Amino acid sequence: IAHCKNQSHILLAAMKPWQLTHVVASVIFPDLCQGSFPNCTFESCPVCLAHGQRSLLAIEGPDGEAYTSAFRIGRCAAYWDSQSIISTVLGILVSEKLGVAVEYVPADDEASATLAMSNCQNWMSGECKQVIVDSVSAKAAFNGPANGTKLFEDPMPDMMFHSEIQDWARRDIEYSMVDWTKTHLASAGAVGFISEDHLYAFRDIVEEAWNGTHVALAYWRTYTTPLASSYFDTPNQLMSAGVSPEILGCSSSEEYVQVGMDTLTELGYTCTKESWWLTPACAALGDAWKHECIPVFDDDWGYIKGPLYKGMAESGMRLAKITLGYDLHYDLISGYKHRVLFHWWDTDTMFYGRRPVIVNMPARGTKDEPPSKIVYAPALAASEQLRVLVNNLFITNDDLNQLLSHAATARDAELFNNNPHMFQKVACGWLRANPELVASWLPDARTCPPAQAYDDSTAKCKICPLGTYSARNESTLVRECVPCFPGHFCVKGATSPLVCPRGSYANTSGHGECMRCLPPSYADTTGSLGCKSCGQIIPGATTLFAAATSKITPVLWPDFTRPDDVFIRSYTCHVDCNFLVPFNITTQMIQSMLGWLRDLPGLSLPSLVAEDAISKVLDYVITGSSPQTQDTESSASLSQIVSSTASGMYSRTPSLLTQTNQVVVIADHSNTESVATAFVLCKMVAQLTIQDPSLTPRYLRPDEDIPLCVKICIFIVSDGVFFEAPFVKSVLQATRIESMVLPVIAQDSFRFPGKPFFEEYQKRALSMLAPHGILEAPEVLAQLIDTMFKEIAVVFSPQDSEALLKVKSQTIADRLMRRQMTNLSVISLGSKPAEFSHEEAEEEDHADETAEVVEAII
């Protein structure tokens, strides 16, 4: 060590055993000091990118005290190569680039790993017998061996690449001891790649069928006919060979198994006495299913492939499915012991050697969300550099395919088995070949993510404050916080200035929000630097005022139908009124005007009218006198035209325009971060729903009710949002129109509602909401909140990187296009739905009411 340049002497006696290992490696490979590294092989891969001392993290324990520990990464070594390799990629970077000690924790089951990060004893067995809360158990769990003993057998991971986020909602039932609102679990965003479930066939069988009789076994429709059966073993042959399911029977006391069985039953599958599950087309064959249906091997009841199962059932495919369990499934498929179809996913190396062929289905089965980075939040809080690296890590499907191709080669060469260096070798080779990508993940002055900038005083990336935006300096390539220029405003964490809307201005740089033009002034263009003097009333208001104070008569064309209450309530579904907002013209004003105008007496023109009849109508409109004529024919026409009252005008229902904006985004208007999230979400998702404009999300303004035409409500949830009266009113309105709901989490600190939340909510909700006119029982409101979170929530923060926001935006767009989200049902309210507030007003003189509206507009 002494002869290495720029390296201090180290007191060996004070070093930990893992530190000594690296010192020994430096002695064995002295060229490490010069920046070159030994070849990384399957037998040995001690150093990949950099050498040096590794430090422990000071992690806050569940008891509030700080404990020193390595950063522990949960790694699946048995069935999920992609997760294991990516875990090792991160481990190498944390250890060798950040200098933080890393420990890999065997965690084959994702659900149990979640329990581990929730501080549960016996997590490896999928149990939570005791939650670590006191100092004694925390020290034992975080520090490992102490005084020769250890309280818990298994170290707890601080991070896990996780694909079962949707299971969190069910864990309140499965692990009642865990208070999920206090577990410090957090998501660091998506890993990047998308994992897709498929139905596979062996390539040999597919090629045999095509070359022999041109039967296309890679196409789903082939399996709706008897053509495919001759190329596969029959279920009867498999049963004779001793192939049997993992779980016997058509029901189970194991909850996760029963959930899978219930899913198949709901999709129309039939369970046989032999515990096979038949698609409807297969079951229709009766006892002949054992000889005519194609067998499908599935791996595990805990891994439900809902969209794929649905496609198999609804497409008419004659399939008989049997669930074998992971071990038997892998043994039978990898050994090619039977001619069958089988389930697996495509981001895995398990069966690469067989080169299986995907059976093209009517709708491919894709998981709802890409795998996520789930972390024990205090571990990331212990190191800003670690937090930046974990958040920036983003591996695409192309990146992953490169990694998996090397892993597949190693697996085929039998280098995988019992080899601790396998993942290190594959990950290291890929990291060395992609230095630019690695550099983009690491925290330094040039790699601050969008919305942040490099702070020289702390040598860390920080979010740009209000009034500035993050921009990269073209000469230094370093992100800086640049003041917003005039005519624009910048929210906290902005990546670009936002132009001031009409009716507002920003006359200097550095504005966090635009200033509104006050009467009698206005700004009729976006990006204004100041306001203009009105000088006179705007023409539209003048006309409306004159209409309200004069006798007028509407002239109705033959194809015109007076609007009814439904049309007026849903007016914003058909017409975008946002351009009137700068003039303080609200939706309620417009709706009141339409109601007044609708009820005025008018003249209904017939389809054919003589010229002099038109003249007499004009005379009537101008003078207000009844038309007089000696022309019998004209008199007859005019008698049909003139109508003295508005009654009888509703003989037909108005034909509504094509309904648009079926999706609205509801934010907590008292929370700037929530509003910013709503705006960014609307902008990014709109680019992905161009093919269906009705799904383009629209931001719901504070003074606006949810239009009746809305089918999907995206709720931006944040801390304390369910105690905000306007937000709760929107939830109730969404319930009354039975809208589908998609919750979006805007803050990392937000915790999913659990038992403690609902207990507190039922105590406080009435006192906080009743003064605002919300009188529903707290139990009913709690039920609605619980129903909302039965839908998988999406974490969407404007502070994330642009690449990550694009992935999350695509996830939201996909969910909108599927239209299969949870409905908030009016039945939940336990009473007949109330009408919206603007419908409850008593009828008044419409002319007086409109005059008041006009005064407000002016």
User: How many whole angstroms separate alpha carbon 183 and alpha carbon 118?
Assistant: 5
* pLDDT reading at 294 higher than 90: yes
Q: Which of 369-378, 519-528, 580-589, 718-727 has the lowest mean pLDDT?
A: 580-589
* Tens of pLDDT, residues 351-405: 666 678 889 887 644 444 567 888 888 888 888 778 888 888 888 878 888 888 7
In terms of pLDDT, which residue wins out, 139 or 801?
Answer: 801
Reduce the DSSP state of residue 320 to 3 states and report it: strand
CB burial string 62-84: b at 16+ within 10 A, e below: bbeeebebbbbbbbbbebbbbbb
Nearest CA to 72 among 382, 349, 370? 382
**Residue type at position 248:** L
**Cβ burial, residue 532 (10 Å; 0-12/13-18/19+):** middle
Confidence of residue 831 (pLDDT cuts 50, 70, 90): very low
**Residue for token pair 């965690």:** 107
| DSSP single-letter state for residue 629 | -
Lowest mean pLDDT among 110-119, 129-138, 463-472: 129-138
> What are the tokens at 16?
């930990």
Q: What is the mean pLDDT of residues 728-742?
A: 91
Q: Which residue blocks in 434-470 are alpha helix, DSSP H?
A: 435-441
> How much is the pLDDT for 290?
94
| pLDDT for the residue numbered 520 | 75
668 in Cβ contact with 716 (< 8 Å): yes
Per residue in 631-666, pLDDT (tens digit) is: 333 333 344 444 333 333 323 223 233 346 789 999
CA 119 remoteness from chain centre = 26
3-state class percentages of the chain: helix first, strand second, coil last, to nearest 5: 40, 15, 45
pLDDT in tens, 702-712: 878 888 888 99
Torsion, Cα of 252, 257, 260, 261 (10° steps): -20
pLDDT higher than threshold 70 for residue 497: yes
H-helix segments, 241-343 = 255-266, 280-283, 289-292, 306-314, 326-334
Question: How does the average pLDDT of the chain come out, rounded?
Answer: 75
CA distances from 768 to 193, 758, 776, 778 (A): 44, 15, 12, 11
Strand partners, 104: 73
pLDDT of residue 636: 35
- 3-state DSSP call for residue 369? coil
pLDDT over 60 at 19, yes or no: no
> And the tokens for 114?
């979640």
Distance CA 565, CA 31 (A): 83
Closest CA to 684 of 499, 797, 809, 498: 809
Amino acid symbol at 145: P
- What integer is the mean pLDDT of 553-573? 79
Residue reference for tokens 């009141």: 592
Q: What pLDDT is recorded for position 611?
A: 65
Quick one: pLDDT at residue 483?
94
**Percent of the residues in the chain that have a pLDDT greater than 70, as a whole number:** 69
CA of 485: how far to CAs of 392, 579, 731, in Å?
29, 24, 38
User: With 90 as the cut, is the pLDDT of residue 121 above it?
Assistant: no
DSSP state of 230: G
Total length of the chain: 858
What CA–CA distance (Å, rounded) separates 729 from 156? 43
CA gap 65, 157 in Å, rounded: 18
CB 387 within 8 A of CB 377: no
DSSP string, 680-695: HHHHHHHTT-TT-GGG
> What is the pLDDT, as a whole number, of residue 484?
94
Identity of the residue numbered 124: M
Helix and strand numbers, DSSP H then E, in the chain: 29, 32
Q: Look at 594 and 169; give whichever has higher pLDDT.
A: 594
Q: Is residue 236's pLDDT more than 90?
A: yes
Torsion of CA 535, 540, 545, 548, to 10 degrees: 180
Between residues 169 and 373, which one has the greater pLDDT?
Answer: 373
Write down the pLDDT at residue 271. Answer: 96
Across the range 300-305, mean pLDDT stands at 82
Each residue's pLDDT tens digit, 237-281:
999 999 999 999 999 988 889 989 999 999 999 999 999 999 999
Q: Which two tokens stand for residue 381?
A: 């809080």
What's the CA dihedral at 670, 377, 397, 327 to 10 degrees? -130
For residue range 187-204, list pLDDT tens digits in order.
Answer: 787 888 777 788 999 999
Q: Assess contact for 373 and 390: CB atoms under 8 A.
A: yes
Give the C-alpha distances (Å, rounded to integers) separating 701 from 564, 673, 726. 24, 15, 11
C-alpha span between 708 and 686 (Å, rounded): 21
Tens of pLDDT, residues 409-438:
766 665 555 465 677 888 888 898 888 888
Place of tokens 């430096």: 26
Residue 596 has pLDDT above 60, yes or no: yes
Query: Do 541 and 854 touch, CB atoms closer than 8 A?
Result: yes
Distance CA 227, CA 534 (A): 79
* Global confidence as pTM: 0.46
Residue in 766, 584, 746, 786 with CA at minimum distance from that of residue 665: 746
Rg (CA), the chain: 34
Q: State yes or no: pLDDT of 756 exceeds 60.
A: yes
Q: What are phi and psi of 160, to 5 degrees?
A: -150, 130
CB atoms within 10 A of CB 655: 8
Provide the pLDDT for residue 106: 77
Count other C-beta atoms under 10 Å from residue 786's C-beta: 16
Could you give the count of Cα atoms lying within 13 Å of 738 in the half-sphere of its Cβ?
Answer: 5
CA angle 57, 58, 64 (to 5 degrees): 145
Residue 445: pLDDT band (50, 70, 90) is low
Q: How far apart are alpha carbons 703 and 222 in whole angstroms?
A: 56
Q: Quick one: how far is CA 598 from the chain centroid? A: 43
Sign of CA dihedral 338, 339, 344, 348: positive
320 vs 282: CA distance, rounded Å? 7
Amino acid at 266: E
> What confidence score (pLDDT) does residue 55 get?
77
Look at residue 620 in the predicted model and tell me its pLDDT: 67
Task: Please state the separation of Cα 661 from the chain's center in Å.
Answer: 20
Q: Could you give the CA distance from residue 52 to residue 56 in angstroms, rounded to a whole number?
A: 13
Is 117 in contact with 156 (CB distance < 8 Å)?
Answer: yes
Are the beta carbons of 334 and 152 closer than 8 angstroms?
no
**Residue the block writes with tokens 């960014």:** 680
To which residue do tokens 């007044």 refer?
Answer: 596
Q: 506 falls in which pLDDT band (50, 70, 90)?
A: very high
Residue that the structure tokens 């609007």 belong to: 563
Nearest to 76 by CA among 87, 90, 62: 87
Q: What percent of the chain has pLDDT over 90?
A: 21
Strand 294-298 versus strand 277-278 pairing type: unpaired
Per-residue model confidence (pLDDT) at position 261:
94
CA separation for the pair 324, 549 (Å, rounded): 81
Give the pLDDT of residue 647.
Answer: 32
